[in-house]
C-alpha cells in the first residue's frame, strides 16, 4: 500500500447525501476480476447518459473542477459491501474522501486501500460546500500525522479521528494481512483452546 | 455486570487485542461468491500463500448466474468468465464449491442456514453486506470487503473494531397481512437508512420471538439497510428445531452438547446496550417504500411526504432528487399506482416460506395482464421443495413462472432487469437508483404485498383481499 502523510489539493464537491455504493459503481461493472480500471465507471450513471455521452452538469465532467479530494454529503458509501467502490474512487485518482458521516464497511474498505475517509462535523462540511461554490480553486490540506483538516486560505480547520493502529499502517504503508500473518501462533493457540470450535467441529 | 448476546459471542472469538486499535477476531465460517472473491485469491497468489483453514470456507455462484437454462453454458461472456474464475480458484485452492447445477447451489445467505452451515454462536463473514441474515441464529455475521476476504483466507481472522450495541424491541401481536418484511421496513423508516451506523443490533420482544426462522432471517437481512454492521436474535427452541437434521449441523450427542452451549446465548437481564428502541407491533401495517433508500418507507395506505415535512434542511435536496427519480409527486397516494413488474426473490424473501405465502395467496387467482412477474427461489433446495409441494403448479396456473435460483433482479447483474422508468414492486432489500437495472424504479414490499400487486396490476393493500 502507498504511504500517506499529508496531502494538499483542490477538491471535487458532491453535495448529495446517502450516496450508496450502487451509485459509486453500478453492479453491472463488477464483473472484472482484477482491482484496476474501475475508475472509468466511477459514478457511471450520474456521469454518462444512456448513449455513453458525458452529462455536462455532473461535477466530474466539469473541466474547471478537479482534485485528489472528493467531498460528499452525509452517510457516504452506504449499501453494498463491494470494495469495488473504494477501488473505483482510488483508481479515478482520489486519495481522500471527506464527509460528515461514512458507512462502516465503506470506511474499512477505503482504509484497506490507502484511501483516507476524513469525517468532519456537519457544520464544517457545509462550510466547505459554501466556500467551494464561491471558489472552484479551493484547496484543502489533510494532515494525517496531526489528524487535522484545513481549508486553505479560509483559515478554518478541524481535527478528525482515526484509530492509532490504522494511522500507523497508513503512514508506513503496511496492511492488515502483514500484521495478521505475524500472529499465526496466537491464532493456532486460540483454535486449540476455543470451547466453541470443539463443540461444532468433529 | 451481565453481557449482551453480542458481547458473549464476540468475546469468545477474540484472538488478540491491539492497543488503540481493533480486535483480532476468529472467523468460524467464511462464505464466498464469484463477485467479491477473485481479487482476494489473486492477493493470496501474489503473497505465495494458501488458505489458512480451507475447510472453513464454502463457495457458491449466485450474483451473476442466469435464472433460466442453468444447465447450458452462461451466455453473457463476462458473467461466464467470473463464474468460471470462481470454479478455477476453488479447484486450485481446494475450497468446497456449490456451483451451478449442484443441488446445494443458491444465494449465499439462503444456503448457509438451510444446509446447517450457519449455527448459533458463530462468527460468519462473507464479501456481501447481507451476511447479516445469518444473525437470525444468534451468530455474529457481517459483510466484508475483498481485502478482508483476503485476510480471512490468509489467517481465518479479521481486524475489527468492536461496534456499539443497540437493542430493538418489538412487542405485541402482529396485525393481519403484516409480515417480517413489514416489521423491518417499519423500523428502518423510523430510524433512517443511517440510524444504525456504528451499531450491532439485537432484535427481541414478543413479536420477534413469535417469528419463524425464515421470518427472523428477513429481519436480520435488512439490518445493513439502517447502516448497522449486523443484527442478531437470541437462539431459542424455534432455532434449534430448525437446525436439527440439517445437512451439516451437528448430529446426535454432538447436537445436544451444542444446544447446551447455545442455550447460554442471550443477553443477561442486566446487560447494557448503547441504545435501546422499542416499538409496538400493533402500530405496524403493510409497508412500501417510495424513495431511493430503504429508509424511505411508509404505510401502504400512506402518502409520499411533502418536502416541507423533511426535518433536516440538508436532507431536502436528496429527498427531492429521490422522488424525481421515482417519478412521484410530494403528497401523492401510493395506492392505485400502476406497476408493470413484480420481483419475488433475493436473500430477503426467497425461502420456501415466502414461496408458500405467495402461492397460497395467488391460488385460484390470475395475475393482471400488465404484470411481468419473476419468482426466483433462493436455492436449488428451495426450488426442489417448492416442486415437491406443487407450488410451481399453483404459480403457473396463476400465470407466473418459477425460475432457477440466483440473485437475479435484486441487483440486475444477470439478464433479469427492470427496464428504464418502469416501476417494480420487489421483495428484495434495496431500492437504490438503478439497482434493478439502469433507470429502474423499485418499491420494496413484503411477498404478500408483492403478490397482491401482481394480481391487481397496481399498488394494493393486501388487507382488502380475501386470503
Ligand atoms: S440476493 Fe441481492 S442482496 Fe442478496 S446476496 Fe444477492 S445481490 Fe446481494
- Residue A202 has a pLDDT of 55
Write out the three cell numbers for B447.
Answer: 411477498
**Residue A64 Cα, gap to closest chain B Cα (Å):** 24
Nearest to residue B147, comparing CAs of A93, A176, A24? A176
Mean pLDDT confidence for B394-421: 95
CA of B168 to the centre of ligand 1 (A): 24
Beta pairing partners, B426: B343, B444
Per-residue confidence band for A138, with pLDDT thresholds at 50, 70 and 90: very high
Element (H, E) at A177: helix A176-181
Element (H, E) at B350: none
Predicted model pTM: 0.93
Element (H, E) at B403: none
Q: How far apart are CA A183 and CA B15, in angstroms?
A: 9
- Residue A71 has a pLDDT of 98
Q: What share of chain B is helix, strand, coil (3-state, %, to 5)?
A: 35, 20, 45
Nearest to residue B185, comparing CAs of B302, B335, B287? B287
Per-residue confidence band for A2, with pLDDT thresholds at 50, 70 and 90: confident
Please state the length of chain A: 202
pLDDT digit string, tens, across residues A3-49: 999 999 999 999 999 999 999 999 889 888 888 899 999 999 999 99
A99 close to B (CB below 8 A)? no
Mean pLDDT confidence for B55-68: 96
DSSP assignment, residue B75? S
B55 pLDDT higher than 80: yes
Report chain A residues whose CB lies below 8 A from the CB of B433: 22-23, 45
Write out the three cell numbers for B215.
Answer: 421470518
Chain B: residue whose CA lies nearest to A23:
B433
Own/partner contacts of B362-366, CB < 8 Å, gap of 24 or more, are: B362/B394, B362/B395, B362/B398, B362/B400, B362/B451, B362/B454, B362/B455, B363/B394, B363/B398, B364/B398, B365/B398, B365/B455, B366/B398, B366/B399, B366/B455
Is residue B433 within 8 A of residue B292, CB to CB? The reply is yes
- Residue A104 has a pLDDT of 86
Residue nearest to atom 2 of ligand 1 (CA): B410
CA of B351 to the centre of ligand 1 (A): 13
Q: How far apart are CA B288 and CA B446, in angstroms?
A: 8
- Residue B158 has a pLDDT of 96
- Give the residue carrying C-alpha cell 395475475: B367
A128 pLDDT higher than 80: yes
**Residue A162 Cα, gap to closest chain B Cα (Å):** 9
Residue B39 backbone phi and psi in degrees, to 5: -70, -25
How far is CA B213 from its chain centroid? Answer: 13
One-character DSSP codes across B309-341:
G-SSHHHHHHHHHHHHHHT--TT-B-TT-B--E
- Residue B467 has a pLDDT of 80
More confident residue, B116 or A104: B116
**Does A31 sit within 8 Å of B82, measured CB to CB?**
yes
Chain B: residue whose CA lies nearest to A46:
B433
- Atom of ligand 1 at shortest range from CA of B109: 5
**Does A199 sit within 8 Å of B18, measured CB to CB?**
no
Report chain A residues whose CB lies below 8 A from the CB of B49: 181
More confident residue, B426 or A105: B426
ipTM metric: 0.90
Cβ contacts from A onto B, under 8 A: 204
pLDDT digit string, tens, across residues B134-153: 999 999 999 999 999 999 99
Angle, CA of B269, B218 and B451, to the nearest 5°: 140
Write out the three cell numbers for B194.
Answer: 443511517
Report the percentage of chain B scoring pLDDT > 90. Answer: 95
Chain A, window 147-166: residues with a beta carbon less than 8 angstroms from a chain B beta carbon? 163-166
Nearest to residue B26, comparing CAs of B66, B56, B54, B51? B56
Is residue A2 within 8 A of residue A114, CB to CB? The reply is yes
B209 pLDDT higher than 80: yes
Per-residue confidence band for B187, with pLDDT thresholds at 50, 70 and 90: very high
HSE-CB of B308 using CA atoms within 13 angstroms? 1
- Residue B23 has a pLDDT of 96
More confident residue, B414 or B60: B60
CA of B428 to the centre of ligand 1 (A): 8
A171 close to B (CB below 8 A)? no
Pocket test for ligand 1, best of B33, B63, B143, B351 (most atoms within 8 A of CB): B63
Q: How far apart are CA B331 and CA A87, in angstroms?
A: 40
pLDDT digit string, tens, across residues A143-201: 999 999 999 999 999 999 998 889 999 999 888 898 999 999 999 999 999 888 888 77
Sign of CA dihedral A29, A30, A31, A36: positive
Chain A: residue whose CA lies nearest to B118:
A200
In 3-state terms, what secondary structure has residue A130?
Answer: helix
Is residue B339 within 8 A of residue B424, CB to CB? The reply is yes
pLDDT digit string, tens, across residues B310-352: 888 778 888 999 999 999 999 999 999 999 999 999 999 999 9
Q: What crossing angle do the helices spanning B380-388 and B352-362 adopt, rounded to 10°? A: 40
pLDDT digit string, tens, across residues B382-403: 999 999 999 999 999 999 989 9
**Which residue among B19, B78, B432 sits closest to A31, beta carbon to beta carbon?**
B78
Write out the three cell numbers for B346.
Answer: 433475493
Pocket test for ligand 1, best of B130, B375, B435, B440 (most atoms within 8 A of CB): B130
CA of A33 to the centre of ligand 1 (A): 19
Mean pLDDT confidence for A108-112: 92
Residue B139 backbone phi and psi in degrees, to 5: -110, 160
Amino acid at each position: 500500500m502507498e504511504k500517506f502523510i499529508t496531502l494538499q489539493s483542490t477538491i471535487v464537491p458532491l453535495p448529495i447525501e446517502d450516496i450508496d455504493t450502487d451509485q459509486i459503481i453500478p453492479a453491472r461493472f463488477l464483473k472484472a476480476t482484477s482491482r484496476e480500471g474501475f475508475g472509468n465507471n466511477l459514478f457511471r450513471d450520474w456521469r454518462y447518459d444512456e448513449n455513453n455521452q458525458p452529462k455536462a452538469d455532473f461535477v466530474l465532467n466539469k473541466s474547471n473542477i478537479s482534485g485528489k479530494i472528493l467531498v460528499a454529503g452525509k452517510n457516504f458509501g452506504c449499501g453494498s459491501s463491494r470494495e469495488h467502490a473504494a477501488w473505483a474512487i482510488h483508481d479515478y485518482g482520489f486519495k481522500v474522501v471527506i464527509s460528515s458521516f461514512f458507512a462502516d464497511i465503506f470506511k474499512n474498505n477505503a482504509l484497506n486501500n490507502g484511501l483516507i475517509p476524513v469525517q468532519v462535523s456537519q457544520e464544517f462540511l457545509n462550510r466547505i460546500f459554501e466556500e467551494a461554490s464561491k471558489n472552484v480553486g479551493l484547496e484543502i490540506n489533510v494532515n494525517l500525522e496531526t489528524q487535522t483538516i484545513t481549508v486553505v486560505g479560509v483559515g478554518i480547520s478541524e481535527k478528525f479521528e482515526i484509530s492509532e493502529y490504522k494511522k500507523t499502517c497508513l503512514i508506513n504503508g503496511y496492511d492488515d494481512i502483514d500484521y495478521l500473518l505475524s500472529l499465526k501462533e496466537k491464532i493456532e493457540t486460540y483454535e486449540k483452546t476455543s470451547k466453541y470450535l470443539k463443540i461444532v467441529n468433529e | 455486570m451481565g453481557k449482551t448476546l453480542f458481547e458473549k459471542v464476540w468475546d469468545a472469538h477474540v484472538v488478540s487485542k491491539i492497543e488503540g486499535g481493533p480486535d483480532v477476531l476468529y472467523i468460524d465460517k467464511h462464505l464466498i461468491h464469484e463477485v467479491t472473491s477473485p481479487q482476494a485469491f489473486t492477493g493470496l497468489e501474489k503473497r505465495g500463500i494458501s488458505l489458512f483453514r480451507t475447510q472453513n470456507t464454502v463457495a457458491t455462484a449466485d450474483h451473476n448466474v442466469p435464472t433460466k437454462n442453468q444447465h447450458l453454458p452462461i451466455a453473457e461472456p463476462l458473467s461466464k468468465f467470473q463464474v468460471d474464475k470462481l470454479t478455477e480458484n476453488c479447484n486450485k485452492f481446494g475450497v468446497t464449491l456449490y456451483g451451478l447445477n449442484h443441488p446445494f447451489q443458491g444465494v449465499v445467505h439462503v444456503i448457509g442456514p438451510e444446509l446447517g452451515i450457519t449455527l448459533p454462536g458463530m462468527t460468519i463473514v462473507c464479501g456481501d453486506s447481507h451476511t447479516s441474515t445469518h444473525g437470525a441464529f444468534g451468530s455474529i455475521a457481517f459483510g466484508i470487503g475483498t481485502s478482508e476476504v483476503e485476510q480471512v483466507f490468509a489467517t481465518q481472522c479479521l481486524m475489527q473494531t468492536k461496534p456499539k450495541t443497540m437493542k430493538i424491541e418489538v412487542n405485541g401481536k402482529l396485525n393481519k397481512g403484516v409480515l417480517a418484511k413489514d416489521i423491518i421496513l417499519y423500523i428502518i423508516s423510523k430510524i433512517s437508512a443511517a440510524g444504525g451506523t456504528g451499531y450491532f443490533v439485537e432484535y427481541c420482544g414478543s413479536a420477534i420471538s413469535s417469528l419463524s426462522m425464515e421470518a427472523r432471517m428477513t429481519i436480520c437481512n435488512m439490518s445493513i439497510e439502517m447502516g448497522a454492521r449486523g443484527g442478531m436474535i437470541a437462539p431459542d427452541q424455534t432455532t434449534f428445531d430448525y437446525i436439527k437434521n440439517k445437512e451439516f449441523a451437528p448430529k446426535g450427542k454432538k447436537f445436544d452438547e451444542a444446544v447446551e452451549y447455545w442455550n447460554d446465548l442471550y443477553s443477561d437481564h442486566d446487560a447494557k446496550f448503547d441504545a435501546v428502541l422499542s416499538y409496538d407491533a400493533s402500530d405496524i401495517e403493510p409497508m412500501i417504500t417510495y424513495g431511493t433508500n430503504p429508509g424511505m418507507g411508509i404505510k401502504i395506505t400512506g402518502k409520499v411526504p411533502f418536502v416541507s415535512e423533511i426535518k433536516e434542511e440538508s436532507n431536502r435536496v436528496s429527498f427531492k432528487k429521490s422522488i424525481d427519480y421515482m417519478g412521484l409527486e410530494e403528497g401523492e397516494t401510493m395506492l392505485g399506482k400502476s406497476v408493470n413488474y413484480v420481483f419475488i426473490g433475493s436473500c430477503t424473501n426467497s425461502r420456501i416460506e415466502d414461496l408458500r405465502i405467495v402461492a397460497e395467496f395467488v391460488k385460484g387467482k390470475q395475475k393482471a395482464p400488465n404484470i411481468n412477474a419473476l419468482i426466483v427461489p433462493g436455492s436449488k433446495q428451495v426450488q426442489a421443495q417448492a416442486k415437491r409441494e406443487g407450488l410451481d403448479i399453483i404459480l403457473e396456473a396463476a400465470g407466473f413462472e418459477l425460475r432457477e435460483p440466483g440473485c437475479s433482479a435484486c441487483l440486475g447483474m444477470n439478464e433479469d432487469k427492470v427496464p428504464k422508468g418502469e416501476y417494480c414492486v420487489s421483495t428484495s432489500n434495496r431500492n437504490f437508483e438503478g439497482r434493478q437495472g439502469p433507470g429502474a424504479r423499485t418499491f420494496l414490499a413484503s411477498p404478500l404485498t408483492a403478490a397482491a400487486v401482481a394480481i391487481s396490476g397496481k399498488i394494493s393493500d393486501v388487507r382488502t383481499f380475501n386470503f
